[in-house]
Amino acid sequence: MSKQEIEKLWLELREHFEIMNKQLEAIREKLKRYGDEKDFKGDECVGWLGEVNGKLFLGGKLVPDSFEFEHDLVTEDGRWVSIKARKGEKSWKQTGIIPEIEGPRCPTHLMFVHLNKNYSVERIWLYPWKKMRESGRFKPKEVRGGSRAYYFVVKPKSDSEYLIYPR
């Protein structure tokens, strides 16, 4: 690809990205009403929606990113919930990186929010963290030749006992 082709592509897409950025900022501002003063940074709309929908479903308070623990939500009944969200129809089942799975900073629960391609909630699962860790559901994530983090894979057919929001 030449420099001219890259510049041509940018000219074709520039207007769309400007509109998209304005819309993402509007979405972020509306979600802030539910965010408990959490800073929804970047343009991670799927993550923002996962956290807000998790809070709306379970109740409680979202935790700021500067908090020293690995959870996103503290429920009124004292659960510490890490919320992961993915959007789509095909490759949505694997979470992003989970930094640690053992220790006092870890959550008590893992919530997985599956969004449709139009960003509406399709399903939500709530997993007991300790049970998932003990059963080997957290898998090592290889980073630069070593395992420094973990990921989790939702199994829709066999995880029905953890499904808390079916569409």
Domains, in order of start, for the chain: 34-166 (3.40.210)
Mean pLDDT along residues 49-68: 89
- Answer whether 54's CB lies under 8 Å from 72's CB: yes
* Structure-model confidence comparison of residues 160 and 3, the more confident one: 160
Instruction: Check if the beta carbon of residue 127 is closer than 8 Å to that of residue 112.
Output: yes
Across 60-74, 102-116, 125-139, least confident range:
60-74
| Residue (of 135, 126, 129) closest to 161 by Cα position | 126
Q: What is the pLDDT of residue 4?
A: 84
pLDDT at 67: 63
**Tens of pLDDT along 137-150?**
999 987 777 667 99
Which position has the higher pLDDT, 71 or 40? 71
Average pLDDT, the chain: 90
Q: Please count the other Cβ atoms lying within 10 Å of the Cβ belonging to residue 160.
A: 10
What's the pLDDT band for 41 if we cut at 50, 70, 90? Answer: confident
Percentage with pLDDT > 90 across the chain: 65
Please give the distance of CA 79 from its chain centroid, rounded to a whole number: 17
More confident residue, 3 or 34: 34
Give the pTM: 0.85
Q: What is the pLDDT of residue 40?
A: 79
Q: Kindly give, in sequence order, each residue whose CB lies less than 8 Å from that of residue 59, ignoring residues fewer than 6 positions away.
A: 75, 76
